[in-house]
Amino acid sequence: MQKRDLAFILILIIIIFGLYWKPLGYDLVWDTKIMVDQSLLFLEDQPVWSAFKYGYFHEQCGMGNMDFYYRPFLTASFLIEHKLWGLSSWTLRLTNLFIYVLSLFFLYIFLKRQSDKHHFAEMATAIFALYPLNVDNIMWVVGRGDLFLLLWGILSLLFLELSLRKRRPLFLACSSLFFLAGILSKESILFFLPVLFIYEWIKRKKVTVPYHGANIAITILFFVVKNVVLGIKNLGIIPIANVVENLTAPIAALGYYIRSMVFPFAYDMFLPLREAVTPFYLALGIIFSVLPFGPTALMSLVMNISPPTLILTAWALYLATSLFISSSDSSTGLSRYSVA
């Protein structure tokens, strides 16, 4: 790493801390406040390994009847903080900020290894670092799960890239270990499974089957352990009362979050799903559903599959997942849970 790279990172860190320093001490909100004030894990000063024995809601928020979250690494991080210096809004958010900066550092390294032309890595990292939607994951303390997701996901990609360049199996093993850390922090790391596969395919025109098989095995094992720990035997399914409503809801939710990404300065994180089903959000969701953009276009070029086929496949998976979520006991009726 050259001096100009270190200078860029240092300037970016100064800017980020300058932006976030004042609100670090703001009052805790939502489930973070409940967790800090009422969690039995903290009140009883339980050991760190207890994080692997309970779900997120049961011991932390006292809502065992709706506990479908198993994120032991996230919970363990709070337990470690509790034992080291106690839990306060300032230290909790400062830890989040540190994880965010560390993630940006590895993101910059990864992007730098992809291209060193036209300041691509600097511009991409700076835009992402200052993107307004990232405020939620820092200030809303339990958003740490998303910060861990970013950190472990980037490290998984970075070590996969290192293995491709240096041809060392150890780097592949490290990539899988980071994927394991990610799934123990937040289940959404599953979206990195196709990303890792596509990335290797682009670089080598073939894939390492044992590596991707190990990641799939880790995923299956995680859900087996999760179901055992949380006592989940099955998900109760609520019969679909109105097929049209269940089809339009995920499309409108997608449109709402597209709008939030384009204009991230004002949005309702917990918008009730029924309020998101408007003609505008439905139209926006449909438009961004049929366009061959992003990963769909990339996959169509790399894997020689027609864009319509990929779009229809992606849509089918998205609708199936959203319909399952919206009709199961785990659904809360909020738009953010309908974007799979």
pLDDT value at position 292?
46
198 plus 296 within the same structural domain: no
104 lies in the same domain as 189: yes
Please name the amino acid found at residue 64.
G
- Do 94 and 204 reside in the same domain of the chain? yes
The answer to whether position 111 is within a domain reads yes
Token pair for 21: 């320093």
Domain endpoint, select from 230, 257, 272: 230
Q: Could you tell me the two tokens for 185?
A: 């922090």
**Residue scoring higher pLDDT (181 or 251):** 181
Average pLDDT, the chain: 78
Q: With cut-offs at 50, 70 and 90, classify the pLDDT of residue 297.
A: low
The residue type at 51 = A
Q: Which domain holds residue 30?
A: 3-230
Highest mean pLDDT among 79-88, 177-186, 284-293: 177-186
At residue 310 the predicted structure's pLDDT band, cuts being 50, 70 and 90, is very low
Count of structural domains within the chain: 2
The percentage of residues in the chain with a pLDDT greater than 90, rounded to a whole number, is 27
In-domain check, residue 72: yes
pLDDT in tens, 62-95: 544 455 788 899 989 999 999 998 888 899 999 9
Co-location of 75 and 220 in the same domain: yes
Residue 6 to residues 2, 10, 94: CA-CA distances in angstroms? 7, 6, 22
User: At residue 285, what are phi and psi to the nearest 5 degrees?
Assistant: -65, -40
* Same-domain status, 208 and 328: no
Are residues 331 and 217 both part of a single domain?
no
Residue 172 within any structural domain of the chain: yes
Q: What is the mean pLDDT of residues 146-171?
A: 92
Q: Are residues 29 and 108 in the same domain?
A: yes
What percentage of the chain has pLDDT greater than the value 70? 75
Which residue among 230, 259, 275 closes a domain? 230
Which residue type, as a one-letter code, is found at position 80? Answer: I
- Tell whether 237 is covered by a domain: no
Among residues 66, 56, 65, 52, the alpha carbon closest in space to that of 34 is found at 56
Three-state SS string across the chain, please? Answer: CCHHHHHHHHHHHHHHHHHHCHHHHCCCCHHHHHHHHHCHHHHCCCCHHHHHCCCHHHHHHCCHHHCCCCCHHHHHHHHHHHHHCCCCHHHHHHHHHHHHHHHHHHHHHHHHHHCCCCCHHHHHHHHHHCCCCHHHHHHCHHHHHHHHHHHHHHHHHHHHHHHHHHCCHHHHHHHHHHHHHHHCCCHHHHHHHHHHHHHHHHHHCCCCHHHHHHHHHHHHHHHHHHHHHHCCCCCCECCCCCHHHHHHHHHHHHHHHHHHHHCCCCCCCCCEHHHHCCHHHHHHHHHHHHCCCHHHHHHHHHCCCCHHHHHHHHHHHHHHHHHHHHCECCCCCEHHHCCC
Residues 221 and 294 reside in one and the same domain? no
Choose the final residue of a domain: 169, 200, 230: 230
pLDDT value for 58: 58
Residue 31 lies in a domain: yes
Kindly state the tokens that stand for 13.
């860190």
Residue 267 region, left (φ>0) first, then alpha (ψ -120 to 50), else beta? beta
Tell me, yes or no, whether 217 and 293 share the same domain: no
Give the per-residue pLDDT at 234. 65
Beta-bridge partner residues of 334: 272
Judge if 270 and 211 occupy the same domain. no
Do 7 and 46 belong to one domain? yes
- Whether residues 130 and 78 share a domain: the answer is yes
